[in-house]
Chains A and B, each alone.
Chain A
Amino acid sequence: MRTGDYKQTYGELVALIDSPPVWLWSAVLLLALIAAPYLLNSYALSFLMIILITTTGALGLNILTGYTGLISLGHVGFLVTGAYAYAVLVSKYHMPPLVGFLGAGVVPALASLIVGAPSLRLKGLYLAITTLAFSFIINTVILEMRWLTNGARGIQVQRPEILGISFDSDAAFTYLCLVVAALTLFATLNIRRSRVGRAFVAIRDNDTAARVMGINLHAYKLYAFVTSAFITGIAGALYGIYLSFVSVEGFPFLLSIEALAILIVGGLGSALGAVLGTILIVLLPEATRVAFSLFSAQMDATFTTGAQELKSMLYGLVIILFLRFQPRGLVGAWHDIKRAWVHWPLRY
């Protein structure tokens, strides 16, 4: 009988996948995702696209908030910077989309250096407030730089064509999002098990102790900021392409809250949690709408008129309920279930 996980070497401890069934299920999931664009109708496909794009963004925030423990309330600022970098490079200056994606990563990363470098003196709440301020300032900067960004009029963005492959159809664009999300997931999992990732977690758990252990706090906090902004920027570019129109209104402050809600619901500091959280948070408004419309048509009408408000109310409610009753998120719940399953009928 398996009574626990006995890891004997360091390699086993940091292995990405530690048991054959997990390999099997991951492969099944990947195959399902590859088949999905052919099987789903366009309505369901749009949800899949949103989930993949949001996963990328949530994984980006997870590096900063989940691993390193630095709260950012202004991640939508990096999202919008990435989207604009892509839109300006590709739609305005007709660069190849790959250059656009690179720019969508690099520009927010540079912006994060500007915000991050002075913010490093700050901790917790204060950092949350500076990032919040950043996201408002960046919106004004974008609106004021009319010669580059068209101000409030926004920029039209076409679906890209990369290396001769056109990503114009929904199915093809879903594949692009899938590739980016999978690469991001793989990258964050690998960061987590590297020296840098361990330093991030050490800073989160106790920064004074981490410093005593010889971790250069400033450098590693900046790494976290830059990596996180890079990934978030690319998610922003994808989101801009999905919307096919980049404007300041397309990236409301609510997205920052949504990203934090995803991390809390999924379980802070876990890549799996970011993925699970994204699925729940993206599908929650739709699931609630369907559930309520079963009861009465009037409820359904309320949902269509006040969709945005109901969505934000749901996010708020989910944040509060999870923090209150399941602070470790879905991942924590999953671990509890697994343990109960293995040890049943014993408690532990």
Chain B
Amino acid sequence: MKEEIYPSMSLANPHPPFVDWVQKLGVGIALVGLGLMLVSLFNLAQTPSFFWISLGCMTAGTLLFAWRQYAGTHPGIKNNGVWFSGMTTRGLIAWIAGIFLTLFYVLLYWYPETLGFRSEGESTGLVAFFNPLSMALKNQPATQWFVYGTLYTLAIVLFGVKFLFKYRHNRYHILRTISVIFFQLVIAFLLPEFLERLNQPSMDLKNMWPLNYYFFFDWNLDRLIQGGNLGIFMLVWGIALILVISPALTYFYGKRWYCSWVCGCGGLAETAGDPYRHLSDKSLKAWKIERWLVHGVLVFAVVMTGMVLYTYFTGSSQVLFLNSYSVRGWYGFLIGAAFSGVVGVGFYPLMGNRVWCRFGCPMAAILGLQQKFFSRFRITTNGGQCISCGNCSTYCEMGIDVRAYAQKGQNIVRASCVGCGICAAVCPRGVLRLENGKIDIDQRTTDKRAVHIPYDEVGLMG
């Protein structure tokens, strides 16, 4: 059926004032903060006080907006008008936001000098604008990566607080949001900067290979091996994460322990990206593309890392007919920068908040395979209560057609499920529950009874 026949109801008045003047004020204040950063690109307002004002405005504006949106409302699901707002339905403003974000990533990765980064001498522009914070944290001037890390962390913290307002009635969401905020702010941001201040090897201790694709690169291995006890610890820790800690946690809890409790990409998706979760494509076709693409990237990551290690141990950069340096260069360009950064975050407003996690992340691919074949995790369905409304599928950021399982009374065991738990939260009939169970680990995907015809008659199954 042609969708425009049942329009998103444009005849009428689908735009009551969802955003009031206080929220507009919030947006305005945050934009002042952002504006100060933009003018700093041109070396205007280039002083520490403007930097702190800028950060303060972004914080105050965002928090004011979030507070106003949810304060005074009754705790519960807050999806009114999601499909009416241009910002969340690929409207003009969403395109502008998407292009702005994409542009930022392009400049960051490939033209950092436009942001003011100088490999020799003192940086200027936006990079220099962040010096006050960089000096305070690690006593070194800022780099473009410090700018990026700060903004990334700020986004997770501020939109994390917004998410906490939104889901204040649900402890699962409260805890996992506090968790991603903690891991980003402390483990990924503050701790490495602090270690740098102490001239110690620094590392984001939760950033695991193959998501952290350069873990086995020669310069990283050398850096850790020469980094004293702490460096050796980091090397051992990194390998233990891959071989022991991650498989064990995934066995007990599914991949959600990482993807929606710990991971930085997941953290940004769950907080800043939350308003876009319904934009993920639910079609069968998208699922097919997803499986080829994400496992393809995994193979690429493994082959690339294998070649890099071969070169590291043999000293020969030529592996068969390929140069390992050139392969790793291409991986960094295509996957590390273009896919995970530009497409992964830049396209939030257009393709949903988990594009990278779903289609590209090799870590998610590994954890997913394990989740599917060797984990206690599943989402169970509550008997025959499903009314097929579709809220679960609509708000699944990974594009899983949750309803297809729920209406059959079947557990959901899908490699891609990051266990964010939103399907269970938005379900108006209390049908879904995230669970871990050992006893039926081999029967997780068996159909359960979705109808109530006794087993001994004809054994109708869903």
A associates with B: no
Residue numbers of B with Cβ under 8 A of A are none
